[in-house]
Copies of this chain bind each other. A is one copy, B any other.
Amino acid sequence: MPHEVVTFGEAMVRLSPAGFRRLEQTRALELFVGGAELNTAVGLARLGHSTAWVSRLTRNPLGRLIANHAREAGVNTEHVLWTDSDRVGVYFLEFGAAPRASSVLYDRKDSAIANIRPGMVNWSTVFSGAKWFHVTGITPALSSTAAEATREALKAARTAGLQTSIDLNYRAKLWSPADAGRWMTEFMQYCDVLITTEEDVERVFGIEGVDYEDLAAQVAKRFSLSVVAITLRENPLVWKNSWTAIAHQNGKVFRTRTYEVEIVDRLGAGDSFAAGLIHGLLEGDVQRGLDFGVAASALKHSIPGDFDWITREEVENLLMGPGLRISR
């Protein structure tokens, strides 16, 4: 059965203390599953799209747990590769409060997906009947073979006639700006839609703009991209931010509402934005994609875990502007 959207990347077991405890002092951890491309797949599934997530997992309880969580959220896992070797990546998350930022401790080295190599995935089967392929800059950052596998996937997606989106998602703990710049520049030739932040564009591509609009225009032009979307966060505090995004298409800039978000958990917000944007673009409407992306990701800030447990109806209600009264 073909899947409308395919994403490709790592998902990890995420472990975080409750009640803003530091890791050093906690005696218990809450468990979620997260990973940029899986998060976006979940976002799309929640908005009603048939979605498959491609990855590589170790055949043990943690690997199965990750696949279980993906399926629970409506994402197909039939194309996941299973191995008896390697391990499942884990990350530890501490929630902060101003002036202490939230922080992440990765323990993801030598994971099954980091050891993926070109040829392992049968992309032509995976992409059969699909419309969209999405990946982020994290997948190629995992290892050089993962970068090669990402290139293979992007090429195959082009060949199969899919639209493609890439979230730049630069991770300083995984690779250098130089390495990122080299690989991501190469990938731009296979990319229709780029999703990023001002900061990442500067770090990865070395491009600076006089403002967001200018930056998006420069990037779109340099890489001949169809759409460039930039998310904008203002964060004077940890528990409350303002959040919006812009999009650039064919020389035109699109804007949407800015949300004041009370923050329960901001991880996965960018991935949720990608899901909403792709949702709109699948309907051929960048303004709708931007509206949906920002609204869905604004809601994501209120939900624990990396996944955006919203419904399409809730996003549409928010776009129509209901208030904060309790419905009863």
Chain A residues within 8 Å of B, Cβ to Cβ = 1, 15, 18-32, 60-62, 64-65, 68-69, 71-74, 87-88, 90, 92, 94, 96-107, 109-110, 171-173, 235-240, 259-264, 266-267, 295, 298-299, 301-305, 307, 309, 314, 318, 322-328
Q: Which of B1, B65, B325 contacts A101 (CB 8 A)?
A: B325
- List, in ascending order, chain B residues with CB within 8 A of A238's CB: 262, 324
In the assembly, what is the distance between CA of A28 and CA of B21, in Å? 14
In the assembly, what is the distance between CA of A61 and CA of B18, in Å? 16
Nearest CB to that of A30 among chain B residues? B28
Closest beta carbon of chain B to A202's beta carbon, Å: 14
A28 in contact with B31 given A20-B264, A324-B238 (CB within 8 Å) = yes
Q: Which of B103, B305, B325 contacts A326 (CB 8 A)?
A: B103
- List, in ascending order, chain B residues with CB within 8 A of A73's CB: 68
In the assembly, what is the distance between CA of A103 and CA of B19, in Å? 19
In the assembly, what is the distance between CA of A1 and CA of B260, in Å? 44
Determine whether the beta carbon of B68 is less than 8 Å from that of A24. Answer: yes
In the assembly, what is the distance between CA of A109 and CA of B90, in Å? 13
Most buried by B among A29, A68, A239, A328: A328
Determine whether the beta carbon of B102 is less than 8 Å from that of A326. Answer: yes
In the assembly, what is the distance between CA of A299 and CA of B22, in Å? 11
- List, in ascending order, chain B residues with CB within 8 A of A304's CB: 19-21, 25
Nearest CB to that of A298 among chain B residues? B99
Determine whether the beta carbon of A61 is less than 8 Å from that of B260. Answer: no
Q: Which of B1, B74, B328 contacts A106 (CB 8 A)?
A: B328
- List, in ascending order, chain B residues with CB within 8 A of A302's CB: 20, 96-100
7 A-B interface contacts by CB (under 8 A): A19-B304, A28-B28, A87-B109, A90-B107, A96-B302, A99-B298, A101-B325
A105 in contact with B60 given A262-B97, A262-B98 (CB within 8 Å) = yes
Nearest CB to that of A73 among chain B residues? B68
Starting from the known contacts A27-B30, A99-B302, 13 additional A-B residue pairs (CB-CB under 8 Å) come to A23-B62, A27-B31, A27-B32, A29-B29, A69-B72, A87-B107, A96-B324, A98-B259, A99-B259, A99-B298, A101-B322, A101-B325, A267-B326
- List, in ascending order, chain B residues with CB within 8 A of A68's CB: 24, 72-74
